[in-house]
Chain A
Amino acid sequence: MKDLLGLKDLSAVQLGLILARAFSYKKQFGSLGRIKKVLADRHILTLFYEPSTRTLTSFNVAAGRLGARVNNISVSGSSIQKGETLIDTIRNLEVLGFSAVIIRHTHGGAPRLAADNTKMAVINAGDGFNEHPTQALLDIMTMQQYKGSLKKKKIVIVGDIAHSRVARSNIWGLLKLGASVTVSGPATLIPKGIEDFGVRVEHDLDRALSDADFVNVLRMQHERQADQNFIPSKREYHRLFGINEKRLARAKPRLLVLHPGPLNRSVEISSGIADGGQNVILEQVVNGIAVRMAVLTLLIGRAKNA
């Protein structure tokens, strides 16, 4: 495997391989000094065409723990704004000697375009509303950590499915691992043809949650209401699709709440839940480092290292 572009194209075996390695790295988090610096001679680049805090930081921390050197390029402050094409950018960066480039991009398919035009390993850190594979891997890892195998487990993804790369990567990954997935959200934000992925669509969130083991709560982006008219108000959104105490009281008692962050408190998630015992949000962040370490070593580590 040269690149990680999405979970769509991975097999269950490949997913298992990444996750097993992530769990093994996580075990070593108690004594960071003992982690082998297997990427000590590697240069890694992050190329972000969209702002990001946690994904970018997480990749940096993951690379740092493996001894790699990281350079970060963001769109503001680069020649991309001067009109350079993605392919030109990638070719220039390749000859600077990077082993891997981690790309976040506004448009679906951009990392694939990059990957097709470089020898560097390309890791997709989110492209348009196509995929965000490391986020889904860390979500899946977190679910497995709490409840073991996901075979026949029920996962609800709620929110703006239409514009969510997190939702799509989760769906691809979860279905491959035998889970059953329900998506919920306003009808304006459920994309056409999503049923054909093999998921259930349920606009009544209470019904969707009634037998769920996990709910993955997507961030409701402000502009979806303000400029784009997908929802009439945040208030009504919260009433219909917000995760709060009242709603969870009606669900299974051991339902766990995931959220990729950053949180919009009182919109998609109440503060009571965000700060309560039923969410695993910070554990997701920790697992994100482990997953990204696993991905980096699998793609650009020496064969017998790690």
Chain B
Amino acid sequence: MPKLLLKNGTVVDPAQNIHAKLDLLIEDGWIAGLKEKITAPGAEVRDLRGKYVAPGLIDMHTHLREPGQEEKETIKTGSKAAVAGGFTSIACMANTDPVADDVSIIKHIKEVAERSGIVNVLPIGACTLGLKGEHITQIGEMQRFGAAAFSDDGQTIASALVLRRALEYASMFGAIVISHCEDKSLANGGSMNEGFLSTKLGLPGLPRAAETIMVARDIELAKNFGRLHLAHISTQESLELIRRAKKQKAPVTCETAPHYLLLTEEAVGAYNTSAKMNPPLRQEQDRLALIDALKDGTIDIIATDHAPHTLDNKRVEFNLAAFGIAGLETALPLLYTHLVKKNIISLDRLIELMSVNPAKIFGLNKGTLKIGAPADVTVIDPDAEKKVDKTKFYSKGKNTPFDGWRLSGWPALTIVGGRIKYTSAEGVLLKKL
């Protein structure tokens, strides 16, 4: 593998408290040098003047659909979408068909991902067999073969006792359980946030309490039985509970997704199924509370909840449309444009939320550019400006509410394990360099 020298970029590595103009040298897939003015004879040199060089982004919440729903996405198309969006590692949820509740599926996913060799794919194993919420899975064995975390995402483990068992069992291996907080009985088949707008559109509502109740329950379970990460938080009340829990040193962390930070239920408009997701888009007060929680550290991670669907899954009656949006290829420029550029949070904080913290929380040897770390690097071009064009997505999922948004801060270069996998000029590079 040739050496790669990234020159003249501004290195942003919150893990080392670095925000400075430095050169970065990559050798054999590892970070080999980080200082001013590196010279490395024989190295491929990239001049990154005016660009930011950050530890590779890590998305701990995606759905890659393979095996079972390859018409929506495959591990390969999802991997391409990831590097095109500046991600160097993506964790994929277990709600495939068959469910990733057994070591054989975990191995399969890793194998397929490694064969296309585009991005680090970190499979998430199911917490319970078949996502049924009844019998816990072989968490230890799955972890041994590469499962990065454990979750029944999409389903809530309705029984507190079963979740207790999963937390206790997972704690033996230091494995992190991710919880999808939704009281299904209260959700009762709803399809958008419950309130004036759902009443106006005549759509069944998803009450905010359906989320908050489970957040409260899960915090109590975490305090008593083990470490828990809460997925896609969307309400102000959930954040208040989490903030208090963290003050009490409860072993909980949480994430939200870009769409909750940038949109409200108004995006549903006249039955726009591209704005249908679960949890649903909430209200302005929630959006503002989420932004505050990014600032004060209540939210640890921004993850995309990338949920690709076919056009047919979305071109139907709103109630019948699938939940979720494609997120990998828009997350970074959306957040850069609407949070960093508007001085709501710093770029350093954004990198913390999208790289440092995911690595720290899930115990990955990533999320930093310190010497000796794996060379996963995302280069961001703050000046690159273009419109989101869903027809150009690498993902099979074209279901996005952000189509046509003019954004800046697109990835210029995505380096995975020392190899350039994406450049804004050439697109995704499949062949191994």
- B and A form one assembly: yes
CB of A128 within 8 A of CB of B319, answer yes
CB of B270 within 8 A of CB of A109, answer yes
Q: Residues 91-110 of chain B: 1 if any A CB is under 8 Å from the residue's CB, otherwise 0?
A: 00000000000000000000
Known contacts A85-B316, A86-B317, A109-B270; is A128 also within 8 Å of B203 by CB?
A: yes
Known contacts A85-B315, A85-B316, A107-B318; is A165 also within 8 Å of B198 by CB?
A: no
CB of B205 within 8 A of CB of A107, answer no
CB of B196 within 8 A of CB of A86, answer no
Q: Residues 126-142 of chain B: 1 if any A CB is under 8 Å from the residue's CB, otherwise 0?
A: 00000000000000000
Which chain B residues in 179-219 approach chain A with CB under 8 Å? 194-203, 205, 207
Known contacts A85-B312, A86-B316; is A193 also within 8 Å of B199 by CB?
A: yes
Q: Residues 121-158 of chain A: 1 if any B CB is under 8 Å from the residue's CB, otherwise 0?
A: 00000011111000000000000000000000000000
Q: Residues 261-274 of chain B: 1 if any A CB is under 8 Å from the residue's CB, otherwise 0?
A: 00000000011000
| Complex Cα spacing A210 to B4, Å | 83
B361 at the interface (CB under 8 A from A): no
**In the complex, which residues of chain B have a beta carbon less than 8 angstroms from the beta carbon of A196?**
196
- Residue from A87, A110, A131, A193 in contact with B198 in the complex, judged by beta carbons closer than 8 Å: A193
Which chain B residues in 296-317 approach chain A with CB under 8 Å? 312, 315-317
Q: Residues 331-366 of chain B: 1 if any A CB is under 8 Å from the residue's CB, otherwise 0?
A: 000000000000000000000000000000000000
- Residue from A85, A129, A197 in contact with B202 in the complex, judged by beta carbons closer than 8 Å: A129
B264 CB → nearest A CB, Å? 14
A200 at the interface (CB under 8 A from B): no
Q: Residues 147-177 of chain A: 1 if any B CB is under 8 Å from the residue's CB, otherwise 0?
A: 0000000000000000001001000000000
**In the complex, which residues of chain B have a beta carbon less than 8 angstroms from the beta carbon of A85?**
312, 315-316
Known contacts A86-B316, A193-B197; is A112 also within 8 Å of B203 by CB?
A: no
Q: Residues 199-243 of chain B: 1 if any A CB is under 8 Å from the residue's CB, otherwise 0?
A: 111110101000000000000000000000000000000000000
A90 CB → nearest B CB, Å? 12
CB of A128 within 8 A of CB of B202, answer yes
CB of A192 within 8 A of CB of B316, answer no
Known contacts A193-B196, A196-B196; is A130 also within 8 Å of B317 by CB?
A: no
- Residue from B194, B196, B317 in contact with A113 in the complex, judged by beta carbons closer than 8 Å: B317
B320 at the interface (CB under 8 A from A): yes
**In the complex, which residues of chain B have a beta carbon less than 8 angstroms from the beta carbon of A193?**
194-200
A251 at the interface (CB under 8 A from B): no
Q: What is the chain B residue whose CB lies nearest that of A8?
A: B200
A215 CB → nearest B CB, Å? 21
| Complex Cα spacing A246 to B205, Å | 37
CB of A109 within 8 A of CB of B198, answer no
A225 CB → nearest B CB, Å? 17
Q: What is the chain A residue whose CB lies nearest that of B205?
A: A192
B106 CB → nearest A CB, Å? 34
What 3 pairs between A and B have smallest CB-CB spacing?
Answer: A130-B202, A193-B196, A108-B202
Which residues of chain B have a CB within 8 Å of any CB of chain A? 194-203, 205, 207, 270-271, 312, 315-320
